[in-house]
Amino acid sequence: MRNGKPYIYSISEIQDDPENGMFWFLFKTSSSDEGDLELITKSPAEVVPSNKQHLIFCKNTVYTKTKEFFEKRKFKLPKIELKKFTGDAKEYLSYWSQFRKIHEDISIPNEDKMQYLLQAVVAKTKAARVVENFSDTSENDPKAIAQLKERFGRDVLLVQIYVRDLLSMVMKNTASDGTKTDLPALYDEFEAKIRALERLGRAQEKYGDFLSPLLESCLSEEILVAWERSRNMKETSQVEDRFLEKIMNFLKQEVKGEEMVELARTGFFISCQSKKKGNGI
């Protein structure tokens, strides 16, 4: 300590990135390898504890990042393209999961966020009309985001959309005239809908009793028989809970089984074809 302030024992520069206007430091206040890492402010004599984190200076603003952020990669990652939103409510969750990183980034000024938002909607679509109703000023960015959510991201609206999609799956299966069910495709589609509902706060405990019969009605007779057999083998005197989770786990195993059978058949066919060619047949 010097003059009541922590004394910096050593500073080591980890990486310099002048192109992006940033450089990173790792420093400690003692000679021990386990010494505390602290955040240095604009004045080198001022040291503020920052929970053993690395330091990042970016355009005269100080931020902290965890150690893992600074691990040097041995490969170059491709650029992530900004997902563009059309106004289709089915796409809202995936769109927002990406764009919210920009919206919640405190290092980006609101007027820049508004420009990113304008670039993240497809021109001449419903989403573009909503955003373009606001002038591109800093105070309008949160208003435009709120309006997009109100129009296309309301929980009630999205729940209805996903439930209707599940009902359409049932209707499609009813009209299939007994043709074989594409189980992997059915499982993947149903699981995606369930995950979307869970992200909206609709847990399986609340909707499981409603969704399970819908899923069963989409299954072929062969799969239903196997499912009932599996249930009977595991049945206990206790009341079954998490019924939807159980049937989804069963279908996951059936999908894995189908894929292994397909692999065995395909591999055998290729092997036979190779032998025929080798024998000149």
Q: What pLDDT does residue 131 have?
A: 95
The tens digit of pLDDT for each residue in 131-165 reads 999 998 989 999 999 999 999 999 999 999 988 88
| Structure tokens that stand for 170 in this block | 């049932």
- Which segment of 36-40, 197-201, 209-213 scores lowest on mean pLDDT? 36-40
Q: Is the pLDDT higher at 191 or at 6?
A: 191
* pLDDT greater than 60 at residue 114: yes
Q: Residue 21: name the closest of 109, 138, 107, 116 by CA.
A: 107
* pLDDT greater than 90 at residue 57: no
* pTM as predicted: 0.60
pLDDT band of residue 30 (cuts 50, 70, 90) is: very low
* pLDDT greater than 50 at residue 65: no
CB atoms closer than 10 angstroms to residue 256: 11
CB atoms closer than 10 angstroms to residue 29: 18
pLDDT band of residue 280 (cuts 50, 70, 90) is: low
- 47 forms bridges with which residues in the sheet? 40
Percentage of residues in the chain having pLDDT higher than 90: 27
Q: What pLDDT does residue 255 have?
A: 92
Report domain extents, the chain: 18-69, 89-153, 156-231+244-262
Please provide the average confidence, as pLDDT, over all residues in the chain.
73
CA distance 256 to 187: 11
What integer is the mean pLDDT of 30-39? 42
